[in-house]
Amino acid sequence: MSEGGSPRAVLLDLLMATMDSMSTWSSAAGDRERGLAWRDAVTQRMIDAARYVPYDDLVTAAAAELHLPPDAPDRLRGAWKQMRRWPDAGALEDIGAPYAFVTNCSRELSAAAVERSRLLPAFTLSAEDAGWYKPHPEVYRRACDRMGTDPRETWFVAGAAYDAQGAARAGLPSILVKRRVVESPLLAQIAVVSSLGEALARL
């Protein structure tokens, strides 16, 4: 934290904290249950890989593992272009600190999601740019380096428990916006809130 108690900068997850990517996966898979199972399978592959491997490869492999239709990855790319931000994401328009997005996808797909957000971050760091997938600590450190701030004075706003914990372990004060009702143990220092507006009100 900075000397006055407020962060010098804020890093946010793009696809869960800011954008409603869950609806995108659900649309591509045909229903919410299969869509979230697909998304979770891709997330687990990212965690297992740690270093960046092509995001599209993970998406395709997970779709095959779950016996989704062969055209599911193509449908996902189409649905991605229609992704919507969460209704509370407008709170970022009035944030009182520089902010940037840190996201677990390719450079191309992160750019598409940012365009759909209609927000103006200082930058967006994709896993492809970083060379690692979250929750590897190097991703958060590289985002802080690019922002020019120390991790201790850079808040991270996550939309998933594993991401909040990864940021906290990298030394960033972390907040989880709970977008899914999923039981997951959290480190004690991570605050849990129900909206992005509530998270930003804590800054």
Q: Smallest Cα–Cα separation from 80: which of 21, 155, 1, 30?
A: 21
pTM of the model: 0.93
Residue labelled with tokens 């996808």: 105
- 151-196: per-residue pLDDT in tens? 999 999 999 999 999 999 999 999 999 998 865 657 778 999 999 9
Q: For 57-71, 129-143, 189-203, which range has the lowest pLDDT when averaged over its residues?
A: 189-203
Q: Which of 5-19, 118-132, 170-184 has the lowest mean pLDDT?
A: 170-184
Sign of CA dihedral 135, 141, 146, 148: positive
Domain segments of the chain: what residues?
Answer: 9-20+83-201, 21-80
Q: What is the mean pLDDT of residues 129-149?
A: 97
Q: How many CB atoms lie within 10 A of CB 87?
A: 11
**Nearest one of 118, 120, 113 to 98, comparing CA atoms:** 120
pLDDT for 182? 67
Taking Cα atoms as reference points, which of 37, 64, 48, 101 lies closest to residue 56? 64
Q: Indicate whether 37 pLDDT > 70.
A: yes
For residue 35, is pLDDT > 50?
yes
The highest-level CATH class for domain 9-20+83-201 is alpha beta
Task: Check pLDDT > 70 for residue 81.
Answer: yes
With a CB cutoff of 8 Å and minimum separation 6, the contacts of 199 are 17, 157, 175, 177, 191, 193
Work out the percent of the chain whose per-residue pLDDT is above 70.
95
| Residue-averaged pLDDT of the chain | 94
